[in-house]
Amino acid sequence: MEPNFFHTIKVTVLFTVITVPISLIVALAAALLLNVKAIKGISIFRTIFFLPALIPVVASTIMWSWVFSPKHGILNLLYAKIFGTQGPNWLEDPRLALGCIAVICIWGFGNTMMIFLAGLQGVPQNLLDAARIDGATWWERFRNVTVPYISPVIFFNMVMGIIGAFQVFTQAFIFTDFNGTTVTVNSKAVHFYVLNIYQQAFENGRFGLACALAWILLVVILMMTLIQFYFKKRWVFYNE
């Protein structure tokens, strides 16, 4: 068995468990805010919220590397002003490195937000008005009217989010190999499954092993997707 196999699975699964729920919650919350039509210039705010999704992954990762820089990063400058001490080395600390990459991935929630926004605009206003007249609070309207109507959208974003999280690669690759501004990262803490495939194929020349690992990833993603489709009938509702 490949020595890094179980460790990379553990790191990838942990990353998925962290990023997917938070990304869905943040994107849905932003979509709810941007679905308010009474705000003047709402289209401008929608554009601002969507902009991070347009930035290439490499550029955004390098930008965040400056934010997380231990000496001159914005985050540690704020940390020093608030707490009066030097901040941690975010990327070198094995307890923080995975969280840093999770923040970068969650930051680009624009695509998921726009899909949620499209789903929210399809919720019948007359049902929301009827629930409001019946005395339902905002939370009751959201839980009993909005969520059932956008459950297919939630399901789609969840499936795509899990597939994307299992294939995370670029951020960890850049942090472990970028030499422009002494960016380093605790490589073991962010040793993702796809990064291991790349290393086995193009650094170690073990193309057969890399191919086998890629097939395993395909089977795992397929099984995860089929499981989600199996359980969707319990909570996903279609307006037919």
Read off the pLDDT of residues 153-180 as tens digits, 9 standing for 90 and up: 999 999 999 999 999 999 888 877 544 3
The reported pLDDT for the residue numbered 181 is 39
d(CA 143, CA 145) in angstroms, rounded, equals 6
What pLDDT shows up at residue 1?
61
pLDDT at 40: 80
Asked if 228 and 155 count as a contact pair (C-beta separation under 8 A), the reply is yes
CB of 188 closer than 8 Å to CB of 4: no
What is the DSSP code string of 183-221? Answer: ----TTTT--HHHHHHIIIIIS--HHHHHHHHHHHHHHH
The CATH class for the domain spanning 5-234 reads mainly alpha
Contact assessment for residue 53 and residue 108, using Cβ atoms and an 8 Å cutoff? yes
Measured in degrees and rounded to the nearest 5, phi and psi for residue 239 equal -85, 95
What are the residue ranges spanned by the domains of the chain? 5-234
pTM (2 decimals)? 0.89
Q: Is the pLDDT of residue 150 over 60?
A: yes
Other CB atoms within a 10 A radius of the CB of residue 216 amount to 15
Distance (Å, whole) CA 15 – CA 90: 16
Task: Please give the pLDDT value at position 83.
Answer: 85
Contact yes or no for 154/27 (Cβ under 8 A) = no
Mean per-residue pLDDT, 215-233: 94
pLDDT tier at 4, thresholds 50, 70, 90 = confident
Q: What's the confidence (pLDDT) of residue 174? A: 85
How many residues would you count in the chain?
240
pLDDT digits (tens, 9 = 90+) for 101-143: 999 999 999 999 999 999 999 899 898 989 999 888 999 999 9
